[in-house]
Amino acid sequence: MPDLPEDLLAAVNDQAQARVQRNVQGYAKYLTPQAIDSLRGSFSGVPPRVSRYEIDSPEARGADFTVSVRYFVRDQAFVVRNRWHKEGDRWMIVHAERLWADGEHRPGILSRLAARLMRVLRHR
């Protein structure tokens, strides 16, 4: 497991903590419009409230880093994988997706279509 740059680790923790605290603005400030679209398309319905998180398996990918964060909902967990890219002096998420275990209910066609529609509308 590679070491994350200190400023990236701080950003990952800040965003995950904002998610735990249900601070939408604090969570979203790290998401590019493309990341918002990809994240919406990978969830079915409203994302659940979470009580804690753990940083899972960071990977260096050239200048970018892929970091998976495991969020806990009572006795269950789900993973969101984020690709972080440094834009100027800030780390931003350029792609985000919920990972699904075998047998888990995945987003339906309507969720994926709604995410695509939002993407088209945002670009107009």
- Considering the entire predicted model, what is its pTM? 0.79
Q: Of 18-22, 47-51, 57-61, which one has max mean pLDDT?
A: 18-22
Torsion of the alpha carbons at 87, 89, 91 and 93, rounded to the nearest 10: -20
- Answer yes or no: is pLDDT of 46 > 60: yes
Q: Of 55-59, 72-76, 90-94, which one has max mean pLDDT?
A: 90-94
- Answer yes or no: is pLDDT of 120 > 70: no
Identify the burial level of 38 via C-beta atoms within 10 angstroms of its C-beta, where 0-12 means exposed, 13-18 middle and 19 or more buried.
Answer: buried
The pLDDT value given to residue 2: 61
Q: What is the mean pLDDT of the chain?
A: 83
- Answer yes or no: is pLDDT of 118 > 60: no
The pLDDT value given to residue 100: 75
Cα 115 to the chain's mean position, in Å?
15
The pLDDT value given to residue 107: 47
What is the rounded average pLDDT of the residues 1-22? 92
Q: Which helix (H) or strand (E) holds 11?
A: helix 6-20
Q: Which helix (H) or strand (E) holds 18?
A: helix 6-20
DSSP line for 86-124: EETTEEEEEEEEEE--TTPPPP-HHHHHHHHHHHHHHT-
Task: Quickly name the fold that domain 6-104 has.
Answer: Nuclear Transport Factor 2; Chain: A, (3.10.450)
